[in-house]
């Protein structure tokens, strides 16, 4: 799955170095729905927001009836080494209801990585 389509992928891209972001955004970006974001300027702005709030909700990027919630996982040097996310049906779930749960899961994994204790 292309990184720009998923909440976890966008988290990873947001924390990637500028060279990696530039290379990814320079290539043609796949479209799966009429809502798939492919504009590099829009994605770059979103990367800034992600780094500020440390979570992301995406909707209708891969299929028109699903959305995702994701948060970054950091290592002891404050580098993003992973992302935690969920994908839910938009008709059955309000994604905002899951933001704090996903952030808590990411924080718990971050603590385990930082301390070396799973």
Q: Tens of pLDDT along 42-101?
A: 999 999 999 999 999 999 999 999 999 999 999 999 999 999 999 999 999 999 999 999
CATH code where residue 92 lies = 3.30.450.40
pLDDT of residue 77: 96
**Domains of the chain: total:** 1
- Do 83 and 12 meet the contact criterion of CB atoms below 8 Å apart? yes
- State the Cα torsion 98-100-104-105 to the nearest 10°: 10
pLDDT (mean) for 23-29? 98
Contacts of 91 (CB under 8 A, 6+ apart): 65
Contacts of 111 (CB under 8 A, 6+ apart): none
pLDDT (mean) for 31-51? 98
> Which tens digit of pLDDT belongs to each residue from 1-17?
999 999 999 999 999 99
Does residue 33 sit in helix, strand or coil?
coil
Q: Which domain holds residue 108?
A: 3-115
Q: What angle do CA 67, 72, 76 make, to 5 degrees?
A: 170
């Amino acid at each position: 799955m292309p990184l720009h389509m998923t909440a976890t992928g966008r988290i990873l891209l947001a924390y990637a170095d500028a060279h990696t972001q530039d290379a990814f955004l320079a290539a043609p970006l796949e479209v799966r729905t009429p809502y798939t974001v492919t504009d590099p300027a829009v994605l770059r702005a979103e990367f800034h927001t992600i780094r500020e709030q440390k979570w992301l909700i995406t909707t209708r990027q891969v299929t028109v009836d699903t959305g995702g919630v994701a948060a970054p996982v950091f290592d002891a040097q404050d580098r993003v080494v992973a992302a935690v996310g969920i994908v839910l049906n938009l008709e059955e779930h309000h994604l905002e209801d899951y933001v704090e749960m996903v952030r808590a899961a990411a924080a718990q994994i971050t603590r385990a990585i930082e301390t070396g204790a799973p």
